Amino acid sequence: MNKKWVIREEIPAAARNHLARWDAEPLIQQLFWNRGLENEEQALAFVRRENSFDDDPFQLTSMDAAIERILAGLDADESIVVYGDYDVDGVTATRLMVEVLEAFGANVSSYVPRRDSEGYGLHSSVLENMKKEGVSLVLTVDCGVRAVEQAAYARSLGMDLIISDHHYVGEVLPDAVAVINPKRPDCHYPEHMLSGVGIANKISDALLRRRSPVQAEILPRSFLDLVALGTVADLAPLCGENRTLVYSGLEQLNSVPRPGIMALMQAAGSKGPVTARTIGFQLGPRLNAAGRMGSVLDALQLLATRNTEEATQLAQGLEELNRERQNLTKKISERALEMAHAQVGDEDPKIFFAAHAEFHSGIVGLAASRLCEEFHRPALVAQRKDGMITGSARSVEHFHISEALLQCADLLDRHGGHAVAAGFTLPEENWKQLKGRLREIAIGQLSGKDLRPTLSIDAVVESSQLTQRLAEQLEYFEPSGNGNPTPVFVWRGAPVLGKRVVGKNGDHLKLKTRTENGLEIDVIGFWLGDRLPTLSATADLAFSFENNEWRGRKRQQLNLKDVSAST
C-alpha cells in the first residue's frame, strides 16, 4: 500500500533563536523542534537522556500504602507471590519484583498464567489455591487493574492484594490494598506511559528509599536491563522517562549483561551492541516465544540464572521455540489474510475479523498485526475453542481499539489493552453481535478518514547534508522506537546508479546512489522489492540515515522507509 508522505513544517525563524546552540546545524534544530523540544534546556536534557521532572516514585497514587504493606509482609515473613503476565513486559516485571524482594530476604515466589490454558490476568481459582498454600500477600505486575471480581474474591479469602498495572483503567478500580497505575484519573505522576516493568521498577525504587536491603549490592539501577527489555518489547513510547530508563538499561545490557541475555544473543546470531532495535527484533520475539508456544517459565529462568551452561541450554530452547513460532505465524497469517480478503466487497470494510478453531492463541496477535499492516484497518484475529472466542486486536490511527472494546463490554468476558493493541475473550454465541457492533463503531469513526498509512518526514534534505557528522549527531536521538521514531528524511531526485532485489524471495530492494559531493552510498529497502520495476534513473527516497558496520568497516547507508519514481 502506498504511503502518504507528511513532511513536517519548517521550524519558525523565531524558534531557532531558542535553539541557538545549534545555529550552525539547522537540520538538528529542525529535528529537536519536531520532537517538541523548544529550547536549549529541553534539547540538552533530551541529548543527555535526563528526566526534566521529579521522578520520586511516591508521587504515584497509593505507592505509600503498597510499600507499607510490603514492608509489613517482610517483617512478618509472610508468603508473598508476584503475579505477572506471559509477555516480555510481564516476565521482566515479574523477575524484577522477585529479585528486589529476595534482596530484602523475602519469602517470595512468582506465578505467571499459561496463555493457552488460563489466559491473561488474575484468576480466582489460582488465588484460592494460593490461599490454601499459605499465601497472604499477592503483588501483581502488568495486570489486574480491571480484575474487580477477582480482587473482591481475594478480599473474601482474607488475602491482601497489591495491583500494579499500566493498562487503561475501567470505571471502577479493584478493591485492593493499593492500585498503582499512572493512568488512574487521580494519579498525578508526571509520566503516564510507563510500561508494566517500568512501574515495577518504581516500586523497587520506593522500597529501596524506605529500607536498605539485606543484599547491600542491590541499587535502584540494578534492574534497568530488565526495564529496557520489557519497555521496548511492549512498544511503550520511547520518550520522557521511558527513554531515560531504556538508555540506562541498554548501557547495562552492553556492559554487564546477564548470562541469559548473552546466551540469547549468541543463539540468535546477533552481533554488535544491544540496541532498542536488537530488543524489538531479536531478543523480544525469542523471550515472547516462551509465553506464546510453551511455558513462560523458561524465559523467567533464563533471566534469573547465573549459570552459563544453563543459560546456553535455555537460550537454545527459546531459539527453537521461536523458529516454531515463525512457521506457525506464517501459516495462521496466510489463513487469516484469506478470510480477510473474502470480506472485501463493493464497500470498504473499516475493520476485519478472522476466527478459526485451528488458530493458536499465542499467535493470534501476530496474525492481527499482519492483517493491520496489509489493509491498514483495525483487525481482530481469534481462536475458537470450547465454546469461547479468545483473540487479539490491532488497530490504526483514529481508532482506539481498547475504547471500542469497552463499548462492547457487555458481550465480553475479558478485555483490556492499549490504543492500538488489545486482547479479549467472549462466549462464541456473542461473536456475531460483537462483529456487528464493532463494524458500526468503526464506520462511525473511520468514514471519511484518509486511511492510508502515514509516513512522517522530518525534513527534505540535500545530498550534501548526508555526512559522517550528521550520522554521529543522529545518535542524539537514540534510543528510538515507538513514540520517538528514528529521524526520517526525503532526498528528491536521487540518482539510481544500480538497482536489484535481494533476499531469499527477492523481498528487499538494494540501490546504489551518489551524493553531489561524489560519495557513493548503499541503500537498503526492506520489504520494498516490489518497487524495483517502478524505478528509473532517479528516485525520491524517504529514509533514515545510519552507520552500517560490516567486518570492522563503518559506512553510511540509507535505510529506505518508502521510495517512488521522481516526478
- Measured distance CA(157)–CA(154) in Å, rounded: 5
- Measured distance CA(398)–CA(421) in Å, rounded: 13
Q: Is the pLDDT assigned to residue 215 strictly greater than 70? A: yes
Residue 387 has what pLDDT? Answer: 95
- Measured distance CA(431)–CA(169) in Å, rounded: 24
Checking DSSP bridges between strand 379-385 and strand 414-417, what pairing results, if any?
A: unpaired
Q: Is the pLDDT assigned to residue 258 strictly greater than 90? A: yes
Q: How far is residue 50 from each of residues 44, 103, 243, measured CA to CA in Å?
A: 8, 27, 9
What are the extents of the domains in the chain? 4-9+454-565, 57-231, 343-446
Checking DSSP bridges between strand 388-394 and strand 421-427, what pairing results, if any?
A: antiparallel
Predicted confidence band of residue 561 (pLDDT cuts 50, 70, 90): very high
User: What average pLDDT does the chain have?
Assistant: 94
Yes or no: say if 392 and 379 are a contact pair by the CB < 8 Å rule.
Answer: no
4-9+454-565 has which CATH code? 2.40.50.460
Q: What are phi and psi of 526, to 5 degrees?
A: -65, 130
Q: How far is residue 535 from each of residues 52, 122, 566, measured CA to CA in Å?
A: 46, 54, 8
Helices and strands (H, E) in the chain, number of each type: 19, 19
- Measured distance CA(506)–CA(543) in Å, rounded: 20
- Measured distance CA(157)–CA(146) in Å, rounded: 19
Residue 231 has what pLDDT? Answer: 98
- Measured distance CA(537)–CA(393) in Å, rounded: 42
3-class DSSP state of 566: coil
Predicted confidence band of residue 552 (pLDDT cuts 50, 70, 90): low
Q: What are phi and psi of 564, to 5 degrees?
A: -150, 155
- Work out the average pLDDT over 244-261: 96
- Work out the average pLDDT over 418-433: 94
> Scanning the structure block, which residue is given the C-alpha cell 523477575?
95
Of 197-206, 221-230, 290-299, the one with minimum mean pLDDT is 290-299
Q: Is the pLDDT assigned to residue 553 strictly greater than 80? A: no
Of 67-76, 113-122, 450-459, the one with minimum mean pLDDT is 113-122
Q: Is the pLDDT assigned to residue 346 strictly greater than 90? A: no
- Measured distance CA(441)–CA(379) in Å, rounded: 13
- Measured distance CA(171)–CA(175) in Å, rounded: 13
- Work out the average pLDDT over 51-63: 95
- Measured distance CA(133)–CA(463) in Å, rounded: 68
Lateral strand order in the sheet of 79-83? 107-111, 79-83, 135-141, 160-164, 178-180
Assess if CATH 3.10.310.30 describes domain 343-446. Answer: yes
- Measured distance CA(261)–CA(230) in Å, rounded: 13
Residue 115 has what pLDDT? Answer: 82
3-class DSSP state of 25: coil
- Measured distance CA(224)–CA(151) in Å, rounded: 30
pLDDT tens per residue across span 283-310: 999 999 998 887 799 999 999 999 999 9
Residues with Cβ within 8 Å of residue 132, at least 6 apart in sequence: none
Q: What percent of the chain has pLDDT over 70?
A: 99
Q: Is 135 exposed, middle or buried (CB count within 10 Å of its CB: 0-12, 13-18, 19+)?
A: buried
Cα-based angle 454, 89, 197 (whole degrees, multiple of 5): 110
Yes or no: say if 270 and 306 are a contact pair by the CB < 8 Å rule.
Answer: no
Q: Is the pLDDT assigned to residue 130 strictly greater than 90? A: yes
Identify the architecture of domain 57-231 in CATH. Answer: Alpha-Beta Complex (3.90)
- Work out the average pLDDT over 348-364: 93
Interhelix angle 240-255/224-233, nearest 10 degrees: 120
pLDDT tens per residue across span 476-511: 999 999 999 999 999 999 999 999 999 988 999 999
pLDDT tens per residue across span 399-411: 999 999 999 999 9
Q: Is the pLDDT assigned to residue 1 strictly greater than 70? A: no
Residues with Cβ within 8 Å of residue 18, at least 6 apart in sequence: 38, 39, 40
Residue 32 has what pLDDT? Answer: 97
> Within 63-193, where are the H helices?
63-75, 88-103, 124-132, 148-156
Residues with Cβ within 8 Å of residue 412, at least 6 apart in sequence: 405, 424, 425, 426, 430, 434
Omega before residue 479 within 30° of 0, cis: yes
Q: Is the pLDDT assigned to residue 177 strictly greater than 90? A: yes
- Work out the average pLDDT over 418-428: 92
- Measured distance CA(492)–CA(488) in Å, rounded: 13
- Measured distance CA(423)–CA(80) in Å, rounded: 28
Strand partners, 524: 510, 559
Q: How far is residue 244 from each of residues 42, 88, 194, 487, measured CA to CA in Å?
A: 14, 19, 11, 18
pLDDT tens per residue across span 510-549: 999 999 988 899 999 999 999 999 999 999 999 999 887 6
What DSSP assignment string belongs to 213-270?
A: -SSTT--TTTTHHHHHHHHHHTT--SSHHHHHHHHHHHHHHHHS--HHHHHHHHHHT-
Closest to 460 in 3D by CA, of 23, 24, 15, 27: 27
